[in-house]
Structure 1
Amino acid sequence: MKRALITGINGQDGSYLAELLLTLGYEVHGIVRREAIEDASHRLVNILHLIDKLKLHVGAVDNHLSIYKIVANVRPDECYHLAASSFVSYTFDDEASVLSNNFTATHALLASVKELSPHCRVYFAGSSEMFGNARFSPQNESTPFNPRSVYGISKLAAFHLARNYREHHKLFVAAGILYNHESPRRGYQFVTRKISTTVAKIHLGLADRLELGNIDALRDWGYAPDYVVAMHAMLQQEKPEDYVIATGVLHSVRDFLSEAFSVVGLDYEAYIHTNLDHFRPGEVVSLCGDSSKARHTLGWQPTKSFKQMVKEMVLTDIEHLERNQ
């Protein structure tokens, strides 16, 4: 039986990946913070339905000794490094914690695996934000990186570190350069989940407006469960490489709004209020991914359409609110 270790197991991607690996017969270990264990009903909500099938370890991913002890205990065959400060901010207010969570944690994990479990195959979660102000679209594995947020900078630094461990220490490290991917388990701070939950509240009479920034912003949105399939596939290859994972199709926030409100038979224009404070810096070239390599080499492709994904998010939020009223 293969043994897998997941950092960020209680997040959107970690929970779907844990489900996938359990169905494939893996022994699944995950790292969670102590406060998550102490408040499991809220902080571990994405994996509560799996909790009896998982082996959870309390630790801090940016603490080298903490990670070292967990890797020594688990001795994983595969490790999926998903934990990160994942909310993209364009201010430098909290740069120290973002850099620590995204770079220092990656170093702690790679160094521990190299020393304790060198046979282990490692997946590193990169991000389309590493491309930042991209020079052309769509982007692929050869596109020059040009991050413009602290998050993108920290992810790119960790990406180069992962490559260094692959090339100079001969670890099997594959990186996924993932574009936006959504689901009913997406965090509430992300615009997609903010929309789906507010639509559900409006439908149930619990809200009457939705405040957003630039609704003409474009994104390459995919379905999160599809993306964890790609993560697993990367570690089953003969040699470690990096892959762009994306749909290759752009949709605007307006498109998302239209689809979400249509699920409950409403016109989004009657409920939207614009807040300039929510606007991001303008993009010259939109972030749109070319996943040709992943489709050809991994045999990967998206299974759920944009419309189907939005509908699932809204209906799940309605069900959740009805159940907890």
Structure 2
Amino acid sequence: MTEKNALIFGVSGQDGALLARFLSDKAYRVHGTSRDAQMTSFDNLDRVAVRDRVQFHSAVTTDFRSVLQILSRVAPDEVYLLAGQSSVGLSFEQPMETLESISVGTLNLLEAIRFLGLKTRLYNAGSGDCFGQLDHPADEHTAFRPRSPYAVAKASAHWAVANYREAYGLHACTGILFNHESPLRPTRFVTRKVVSAACRIAAGSGERLRLGNLDIERDWGWAPEYVQAMWLMLQRDRADDYVIASGRAHSLRQFVQFVFEALALDWQSHVDIDDALRRPTDIAHSVGSPVKAERELGWRANTDLRGVIAHMIAAEQGRPWPMGAD
């Protein structure tokens, strides 16, 4: 079988590094981009032991010429668009950067594939945040009601992909992924923030952990399983969009409790609530329905929240953690 070329925009992030590991294990030639490949550290790729199996390129999705050049040079069979500002909280402080990096970047890539006449299959990283406040598990037919600049940008990118698929016949799909975690998350993400602080407290740091709204409920999964779903989408003959989620919601309070319990600590003795950490608008309850993904892709989330936490704590303490799906 001919070796496939895969191009990952945003290879240095959590999902990019895990996907690079997944694809290289499947004997793909993996190419990855960053704004300046000569200056980027690519630490996440080192952490999953895949750096020497990736060919790096400088490219930025908001520059159309840059996108054209990299697509022409690599001629990828599959493109995974994971680049763009990825923090909901930061999007309130940088709304224009968030909108441009996600929605304009997606449009540039779609238009470049169409312009060049490539048969490339495109995966676009969507988000369960697009649904906004939910009173039932969201599926592919649930209306979008975004409540952050990040979600607004992701919703725009989602519909651009659908438009190019329908108007020009591009094999382009969006994975509407709900929260998925791993040790590769930066500490600005609350899950990594909680795990890192709890491990330091367990080691005797004496610090206090400051958090905002503990009542929010999220659908958390294990990131290495979610990148497998990305690949599965592009193996289908017909492109379509899929909700990728565990189907189970837990509050941030439960997440914190589970983390401290795993370290034999009482969370209430170490956590302070700080209203300054609340977002201007937030989603109280968010959970996805992965029924279609299981039926058509054969995919399901196998790692529960306690399992996710156990893997993250192991990594924080310098112990081995599974870099692929369990």
TM-score by length of 2: 0.93
Q: Which amino acid aligns with 1:23?
A: D
Structure 2 residue aligned with 1:7, among 6, 9, 14?
A: 9
- Alignment check: 8 A CA contact 2:219 2:246 kept: yes
Between the aligned partners of 2:271 and 2:100, the Cα distance in structure 1 is 37
Cα distance, 1:93 vs. partner?
Answer: 3.8
- Alignment check: 8 A CA contact 2:216 2:283 kept: no
Between the aligned partners of 1:163 and 1:177, the Cα distance in structure 2 is 13
Residue 245 (structure 2) aligns with: 246
Q: Please list the CA deviations of residues 180-208 of structure 1 after superposition, one character each: whole Å capped at 9, or x if unmatched.
A: 00011112111100001101111222342
Residue 56 (structure 1) aligns with: 56
Cα distance change of structure 1 residues 315 and 119 upon mapping to structure 2, 3 Å threshold? same
Between the aligned partners of 2:250 and 2:76, the Cα distance in structure 1 is 39
Q: Please list the CA deviations of residues 18-64 of structure 1 after superposition, one character each: whole Å capped at 9, or x if unmatched.
A: 11101111000001121x63251xxx111123221111101222111
Residue 69 (structure 1) aligns with: 69
The equivalences for 1:1-325 within 5 A come to 1-34=3-36, 37-40=38-41, 44-48=42-46, 49-89=49-89, 92-116=92-116, 118-134=118-134, 136-280=135-279, 286-319=285-318
Q: Which amino acid aligns with 1:10?
A: S
Between the aligned partners of 1:282 and 1:230, the Cα distance in structure 2 is 30
Cα distance, 1:172 vs. partner?
Answer: 0.2
Q: Which amino acid aligns with 2:274?
A: N
Cα distance, 1:104 vs. partner?
Answer: 1.1
SS at match of 2:239: coil
SS at match of 1:175: strand
Q: Which amino acid aligns with 1:25?
A: A
Between the aligned partners of 1:280 and 1:138, the Cα distance in structure 2 is 23
Unaligned runs of 5+ residues in structure 1 are 321-325
Q: Which amino acid aligns with 1:37?
A: Q
- Alignment check: 8 A CA contact 2:128 2:176 kept: yes
Q: Please list the CA deviations of residues 206-259 of structure 1 after superposition, one character each: whole Å capped at 9, or x if unmatched.
A: 342100011121100011011001100000012000000001101111111111
Between the aligned partners of 1:53 and 1:315, the Cα distance in structure 2 is 25
Between the aligned partners of 2:40 and 2:83, the Cα distance in structure 1 is 18
Between the aligned partners of 2:7 and 2:28, the Cα distance in structure 1 is 10
- Sequence identity of aligned pairs in percent? 37
Deviates more, 1:230-239 or 1:89-98: 89-98
Q: Please list the CA deviations of residues 93-135 of structure 1 after superposition, one character each: whole Å capped at 9, or x if unmatched.
A: 422111110011111111112223521100011101111134x
Cα distance, 1:281 vs. partner?
Answer: 5.3
SS at match of 1:113: helix
Q: Please list the CA deviations of residues 69-116 of structure 1 after superposition, one character each: whole Å capped at 9, or x if unmatched.
A: 111100000000011211003875422111110011111111112223
RMSD of the alignment, in Å? 1.6
- Alignment check: 8 A CA contact 1:31 1:59 kept: yes
Aligned residues: 315
SS at match of 1:319: coil
Between the aligned partners of 1:284 and 1:239, the Cα distance in structure 2 is 33
Between the aligned partners of 1:208 and 1:317, the Cα distance in structure 2 is 17
- Alignment check: 8 A CA contact 1:71 1:117 kept: no
Between the aligned partners of 1:272 and 1:190, the Cα distance in structure 2 is 17
Residue 323 (structure 1) aligns with: none
Deviates more, 1:268-277 or 1:254-263: 254-263
Q: Please list the CA deviations of residues 250-307 of structure 1 after superposition, one character each: whole Å capped at 9, or x if unmatched.
A: 1111111111112221111100001001123576762110010001000001121210
Between the aligned partners of 2:82 and 2:256, the Cα distance in structure 1 is 28
Between the aligned partners of 2:182 and 2:309, the Cα distance in structure 1 is 8
- Alignment check: 8 A CA contact 2:215 2:252 kept: yes
Between the aligned partners of 1:245 and 1:267, the Cα distance in structure 2 is 33
Between the aligned partners of 1:116 and 1:207, the Cα distance in structure 2 is 58
Between the aligned partners of 1:260 and 1:92, the Cα distance in structure 2 is 28
